[in-house]
Amino acid sequence: MLLEILALPRSSYYYHIKQLKQVDKNKVLKAKIKMIYDEHKGNYGYRRIALEIRKQGFLVNHKKVQRLMKRMNLAGRIRRKRKYSSYKGEIGKKADNLIQVTKVGNINTCFIMTFSIKKEFVHPCPVREIAQIIA
């Protein structure tokens, strides 16, 4: 009567009862997985756990470990990748600003260039005044 109300086939009902009575054949393996997972504070995923179990002398496939870990809701912690940074901190010493500018036109700069024209070297030196007051 209950099966008719639930619209469940009788075979499905008996199948589930039979499944509940069966002994878990992976009980020992699940215990080992849980022990290794807790020992390494959740940092190990299924691959490393499978290697640890193999080191202990048990022959186990990594896919089986992965499947059991999924059923047990265990997942290894994912390490975040860091963005590359070439910054190495401050290297060397900064020079003190010895130039005390009080008005525009006090300081001129010169940039010396070298290039050749018709087998002769030319050294132009454009002079430029600093237009900003740097405090």
Question: Looking at residue 110, what is its pLDDT?
Answer: 76
pLDDT for 69 = 94
Higher pLDDT: 36 or 122? It is: 36
**What is the average pLDDT score of the chain?**
84
Give the pLDDT of residue 64.
Answer: 95
Express each pLDDT in 63-105 by its tens digit: 999 999 999 999 988 888 888 888 888 777 877 877 766 666 6
Query: Could you read off the pLDDT of 22-33 as tens digits, one per residue?
Result: 888 899 999 999
Q: What residue spans define the domains of the chain? A: 23-72
Model pLDDT, residue 102: 67
3-state secondary structure the chain: CHHHHHCCCHHHHHHHHHHHHCCCCCHHHHHHHHHHHHHCCCCCCHHHHHHHHHHCCCCCCHHHHHHHHHHCCCCCCCCCCCCCCCCCCCCCCCCCCCCCCCCCCCCEEECCCCEEECCEEECCCCEEECCCCCC
